Amino acid sequence: MSKYVKNLITDHLRERLQSVNDALLVNVVGLDANANNRLRAELRSKDINVMVVKNSLAARATAGTPLGPMFDGLAGTTAVCWGSEDVVSLAKEITRLAQEKQYEAFGARGGVMDGECLTSEQVTQVSKWPSRTEQLSLLLGQILSPGASLLSQLTGPGGALASQIEQKAKEEE
């Protein structure tokens, strides 16, 4: 491959990965064409991008970016996955698909999260964390919980008094 073509590919990779801060490396070697197409369609439906890259060109394109450490010392054919709402959702989807029988050869090889490299075991651990949506719902529940407790404490005696008044009214009738 000529230097001009390598520079074109590097520039294209740099453009595509410019706004990406978190990504995972996956293994797609060993998937037949039909399984590969089904896998890509399934990932695309969840807004996850997959791109097979040449390691040396990807390392040049991502040098100085948060994705740079992901390609240090990487060997063999690999694909980069990015997208979804956050890296936890991405890791959940990748590990879920890796466990399916039809995608046996597919699996996480590592990745980068917040500028830190992840191993394949760490990707599995990250997949067990709550996603951004789940974290927000937990936080909202914790914020609203004291108010709900206070409201029930304030309305409890009033409700008891109202039921006693209602009972007395029924007895007098």
How is the chain split into domains, by residue range? 3-129, 131-173
Looking at the predicted structure, is the pLDDT value of residue 37 above 80?
A: yes
Q: Would you give the distance in Å from CA 153 to the centre of its chain?
A: 40
Tally of CB atoms within 10 A around 161: 10
Among the CATH numbers 3.30.70.1730, 3.65.10.10, 3.40.50.20, 3.40.50.1370, which is that of 3-129?
A: 3.30.70.1730
Looking at the predicted structure, is the pLDDT value of residue 54 above 90?
A: no
Q: Which distant-in-sequence residues (6+ apart) come within 8 Å of 42 by Cβ?
A: 97
Mean pLDDT score, 40-52: 92
pTM above the 0.95 mark? no
Mean pLDDT score, 51-66: 88
103 touches 97 (CB < 8 A): yes
